[in-house]
Amino acid sequence: MKLRMLFAATAAVLCSASLQARELDIGALAQQSGLSERQVRMVLGAPVAYSEYRTSFRDSRDKLRRAVGGRDELERLVALFEEAQELVAAK
């Protein structure tokens, strides 16, 4: 029983460290790109959850894409953001 508890505690620590290492700094991305944190979350997450989606998504996406270095980097950030959201939801 103690071995199981030790294993569970170790796994929890490793998972939280992994999550922190992969956590995106939305504030830094916003500052780097000149967008607001809300706009960065809109581009990286589910855009239809934001009322300004229809009028500003494309411009915000393009601005963030230029700031991070291109389409591939933006797609990588979107994947990391989605993974982090799934891990938070699973808790």
Kindly report, residue by residue over 47-79, the tens digit of the pLDDT. Answer: 988 999 999 999 999 999 999 999 999 999 999
Helix (H, G, I), strand (E, B) or coil at 89: helix
More confident residue, 71 or 21: 71
| In the chain, alpha helices (H) | 2-22, 26-33, 37-44, 53-68, 71-90
> What is the structure's pLDDT at 52?
92
- Rounded Cα distance between 81 and 64, Å, is 14
Residue 53: partners with Cβ closer than 8 Å, 6 or more residues away: 42, 47
CA 23 and chain centroid, separation:
6
Average pLDDT, the chain: 79
Q: What is the pTM of this model?
A: 0.70
- Rounded Cα distance between 65 and 72, Å, is 9
